[in-house]
A and B are shown apart, each in its own frame.
Chain A
Amino acid sequence: MAKKSRPKAAAKKIIKKKVASPKKKTSPAKASGDVFSSLLELLRRTSAELPDDIQKVILEALSREEKNTTAEYALKIIQDNIALAKKKSQPLCQDTGTVLFFISHPANFDQIKFADTARKAIVKATELGYLRQNSVNSVTGKSEPSNLGPGHPTFHFHQHKSANVEVRVMLKGGGCENVGIQYSLPYGPIEAGRDMAGVRKVILDGVVKAQGQGCGPGVLGICIGGDRSSGYLESKEQLLRKLDDTNPDKALHELETDIVASCNRLMIGPMGFGGKTTLLGCKICSQQRVPASFFVSISYMCWAYRRQGIVLGKNGAISKWLY
Chain B
Amino acid sequence: MKTLTYPFTQAMVRELHVGDMVNITGKLFTGRDSVHKYLHEGNPSPVNLRNQIIYHCGPVVLKDKKTGKYRVVAAGPTTSIREEPFQWQVIRDHGIVGVIGKGGMGPKTLKACQEYGCVYFHAIGGAAQVLAERIKSVDGVYLEQFGSPEAIWELTVEDFPVVVTMDAHGNSLHQQVLDTSQAKLKELIGQGH
Contact = CB atoms under 8 A, between A and B. Distances in A.
Nearest to B146: A143
B68 interface: no
Contact residue range for chain A? 35 or more
Given A70-B19, A91-B128, A200-B192, A143 B76 contact: no
Interface string B160-193: 0101010000000110111011101100110011
B9 interface: no
Which residue, of A91, A134, A304, has the highest number of chain B Cβ atoms within 10 A?
A: A91
Interface residues of B, number: 50
A186 interface: no
B126 A132 contact: no
Contacts of B125: 93, 175, 212, 215, 271, 302
Which residue, of B79, B122, B133, has the highest number of chain A Cβ atoms within 10 A?
A: B79
A154 B128 CA distance: 24
A95 B150 CA distance: 12
Given A143-B148, A274-B173, A267 B184 contact: yes
B149 A175 contact: no
Interface stretch (A23-31, A81-89, A160-168, A290-298): A81-89
A268 B181 contact: yes
B174 A271 contact: no
A106 B169 CA distance: 62
Contact of A129 (B62, B133, B178): B62
Nearest to B191: A262
A74 B162 CA distance: 9
Given A129-B62, A134-B149, A92 B103 contact: no
B45 to A, nearest CB: 20
B59 interface: yes
Contacts of B182: 208
B60 A274 contact: no
A55 B50 CA distance: 42
Contacts of B192: 197, 200
A95 B79 CA distance: 11
Interface string B20-42: 01000000000000100000000
B87 interface: no
B127 A95 contact: no
Interface string A198-216: 0011001100100111010
B141 interface: no
Nearest to A136: B147
Given A70-B21, A93-B128, A213 B103 contact: yes
A226 interface: no
Given A94-B74, A95-B78, A84 B177 contact: no
Contacts of A215: 102, 125-126
Interface in B91-141: 102-104, 122, 124-130, 132-133
Given A78-B126, A93-B126, A133-B148, A204 B189 contact: yes
A208 B74 contact: no
A141 interface: yes
B57 interface: yes
A273 B79 contact: no
A81 B184 contact: no
A267 B177 contact: yes
Contact of A77 (B57, B124, B150): B124
A94 B128 contact: yes
Given A212-B174, A213-B103, A266 B184 contact: yes
Contacts of A85: 128-129
A283 B20 CA distance: 35
Which residue, of B126, B133, B177, B185, has the highest number of chain A Cβ atoms within 10 A?
A: B126
Contacts of A268: 177, 181
Nearest to B163: A70
8 contacts: A78-B126, A80-B130, A90-B129, A92-B129, A94-B75, A197-B192, A200-B189, A211-B177
Given A81-B124, A93-B74, A94-B59, 6 more contacts: A205-B185, A211-B103, A212-B104, A212-B174, A215-B126, A266-B180
